[in-house]
Amino acid sequence: MKKYLFLVSVLAIAFTSCQDEIYEKSYRNVPVYMSFDELRMPVTAGPASALINPGKIYFKDGIIFINEEMKGVHIIDNTDPSSPRNIGFIDIPGNMDIAIKGNTLYADSYVDMVAIDISDLNAPKEVSRVNDVFPYTLPPLADDKFPVDEIDKSKGVVTGWEVKLSSRKIDTHYFPVYRGGWFGAKYDYAVPMTNAETASGIFGIGGSMARFGLNGDFLYAVDNYMIHVFDADNAQKPVPVSDLYLNGETETMFIHDNNIFLGTRTGMMVYSLSDPRNPQYKASFPHIYSCDPVVVQDHVAYVTLRGGNMCGQTVSSLDIYSLSENYDQATEAYSYNMAEPYGLAIDDEILFVCDGQKGLLVYDASDISLIDEKQIASFSDIKAYDVIPFDDHLFLIGDDGFYQYDYSDINNIREISRILVGSF
C-alpha cells in the first residue's frame, strides 16, 4: 500500500509539472500605477484651485482645510466667515484624511503618512514621512462588470483603472479589491470630530467623517481593521509605536474623555487610552449591519446607522445610547428613523444630523426622548455629509460644496457663506 501511494504521488507531481501554462484573454480592469519614487517626491503647494470632489473638513485657528479626495487639501482663510477666501492648495497624492497639531498637518498619502509644516500657509512644506504604514488599498473600479487584472505591488500604488484586453494565467492569484478600502467610496467610511482640545488650541477639529484623531502627544489613525498609533511628541516627526488589530469593519473614530469610540459596521466599540501607546479594549455594543458614525457628549452616544448599498440592511436610523460612568456599559435608549444619515455633531443641547438627500437636520437634544418632536430646522436644498460646530458657527460639507451657518440664534439659523463645487 505504501508503495502504491508513493507511485501515485510521483505521477501526480510529474503530470502537474508537465502541464502547459494556460492563459486567457479578456477585458479587465487593468491597474494604473504611480511609482513609489513619484509618490514619495516631497508634497508641493500651489495656488488656490476650485473644489471638484470635496471630502472631509478640518478647522483650526480660523482656517478651514477641505480635502479634495485623493488629490490634496484646499486652504480656506475663514477669519471673516461671511467671506471665506480660498488661498491655496497642498498637492498630496492619495489623500483622504488630515489632523493638525500646532503647525504640523498630518495627512495620509496612499500607503504613507506625511507631516507638513503649515506655519507659513503660503509655503507649506513636507518635513517627514512614514513609509508603508497604511494598507495597500485599491480605488473603485472603472467598470465593475469586468474582473480585476493582476496587481503588481512592486510597480507602486494603484491610482485608477483602464478597461482593456488583458492576457493572464488563469491560476494566478486574484488580488482582493477592498469595498472602498482606506480611500473608500465617498463617505462610506466615517469618523467624528475629536473634541479633546478647542480649535484655537494645540489641536484642530475634524468632522465626523475623519479617520485621524489626536489625544495628548499621540496621533491615532484607523483603517478597516486596525488602529495605528504614532508618538507625535515631536510634532514634525511622528513615530509609529504600535498597531492594534480590530475585530470589525471600522468606520468611525471619536476621541472623548481619554477613550476612543469606534463605529464599525456591526456595532460601537470602546478602547481606553489610559496607556496611550496601546489602546485597551473596554466594551462593544452591537447593532444591525450598517454604516456607522458616532459622537459622544455627557455619557450619551449619538449614532447614525445608514442602510442600503454596501451598508447592509435598508433600515436607517439615529440611535442614542446611555453610557455608564466608565463607558464600559451602554443601554440603547431611543431610536429614530432617518432617510440616509451620514455625519453628525452635538453642541451642548443642539444636535446636527446630515441626512443625505434630506439635507441638514437640526434638533433640540435637551430631552433625548423627544428628539423627533423637537426639530428646530432643516435645510433640504443640499446633500449634506459632514458638519463641525464651533463657537455658534456650523461648517458643513455637502455634495455641491462648503457651507457656513450662524446658529447664535437657534431659532433663526442663517446661512452666511458658501463655496460651491467648481468655484473658488
pLDDT value, residue 210: 67
Query: Binning pLDDT at 50, 70 and 90, where does residue 307 land?
Result: confident
pLDDT band, residue 306 (cuts 50/70/90): confident
Contacts of 372 (CB under 8 A, 6+ apart): 336
Question: For 153, phi and psi rounded to 5 degrees?
Answer: -65, -20
Mean per-residue pLDDT over the chain, rounded: 85
Which residue bears the cell 509609529? 240
Query: Which residues lie across from 283 on neighbouring strands?
Result: 270
**How high is the pLDDT of residue 198?**
43
Structure confidence at residue 408 (pLDDT): 97
pTM, rounded to two decimals: 0.86
Quickly state the pLDDT bin for 305 (edges 50, 70, 90): confident
Segment 368-386 mean pLDDT: 93
- For the ranges 110-124, 288-302, 340-354, which has the lowest average pLDDT? 288-302
Confidence of residue 278 (pLDDT cuts 50, 70, 90): very high
Q: Residue 55: its pLDDT value, please?
A: 92
Amino acid at 123: A
pLDDT at 150: 87
Domain ranges of the chain: 37-134+182-420
| Residue 310 predicted with pLDDT over 50 | yes
CA dist 111 → 137, 329, 345, 402, 415 (Å): 8, 36, 29, 28, 38
Coil, strand or helix at 256: strand
For residue 355, what pLDDT is reported? 93
Residues found in the chain: 424
pLDDT at residue 342 is higher than 60: yes
Residue of higher predicted confidence among 12 and 91: 91
Which residue is associated with the grid cell 484651485? 49
Taking the C-alpha atoms of residue 44 and residue 326, their distance in angstroms, rounded to an integer, is 45
Least confident range of 7-11, 117-121, 248-252, 368-372: 7-11
pLDDT level of residue 196 (50, 70, 90 thresholds): very low
Cell 452616544 locates to 301
Give the separation between CA 176 and CA 167, rounded to whole angstroms.
19
Q: How far apart are CA 399 and CA 419, in angstroms?
A: 12
Lowest mean pLDDT among 127-141, 265-279, 300-314: 300-314
Among residues of the chain, what percentage have pLDDT more than 70? 83
Between residues 208 and 70, the one the model is more confident about: 70
pLDDT tens-digit map of 129-167 = 999 999 998 888 899 899 888 899 999 999 999 999 987
| Domain 37-134+182-420 CATH (choose: 2.130.10.10, 1.10.3720.10, 2.40.30.10, 3.40.50.720) | 2.130.10.10
- What was the pLDDT predicted at 1? 46
User: What cell numbers appear for 79 in the block?
Assistant: 477669519
For cell 455629509, what's the residue?
385
Q: What is the pLDDT of residues 223-232, one digit of tens each?
A: 888 999 999 9
**How far apart, in whole angstroms, are the C-alpha atoms of residue 201 and residue 304?**
29
Of the listed ranges 6-15, 16-25, 43-52, 317-326, the one predicted with least confidence: 6-15
